[in-house]
Structure 1
């Protein structure tokens, strides 16, 4: 992801800064998706595994990156497993 773009992106709900997720974070989320326990902010189930993800500074919310495009819609935030 472009470094300049990453510097200006923030969570649309909290305003917290975002950073690329580590492989371990992505794997933990994909495990939750496989187990049917991952949810979007709107309460719907996350059904597609994640290849890339931006996470908030507090590590509570993730936003998937699909085809190089971060999906930054408030209702598409994903509660991250703790």
Structure 2
């Protein structure tokens, strides 16, 4: 992802800056997706593994990246509180 774009992106709800999800965090997220334990903010089950994503710097919301384009719609976010095995820090 282009660093200039990453520098201007933020959560559309809280306006918190975002950063790329680390490999360790992505692995934990995808483990929960495979186990059927992940829903979007809108309550829709996330069934597809995520190849790349952004996370707010306060570590509360994850936004997936599809084909290099961040999906920054509030209802498409994934709240991290539902992820029981999510790493404590990046």
TM interval, shorter chain, is over 0.9
TM alignment of 1:2-81, pairs within 5 A: 2-80=2-80, 81=83
Give the Cα separation in 2 of the matches to 1:14 and 1:57. 11
User: Following superposition, which runs of at least 4 residues in structure 1 exceed 6 angstroms of deviation?
Assistant: none
What do residues 55-79 of structure 1 show as CA deviations (whole Å, max 9, x unaligned)? 0011111000010000000000012
**Alignment root-mean-square deviation, CA:** 0.8
1:9-29 deviations in Å (ceiling 9; x for gaps): 000111100000100110000
- Structure 2 residue runs of 5 or longer lacking an equivalent are none
The number of aligned residues is: 82
Q: Where do 5+ consecutive residues of structure 1 fail to align? A: none
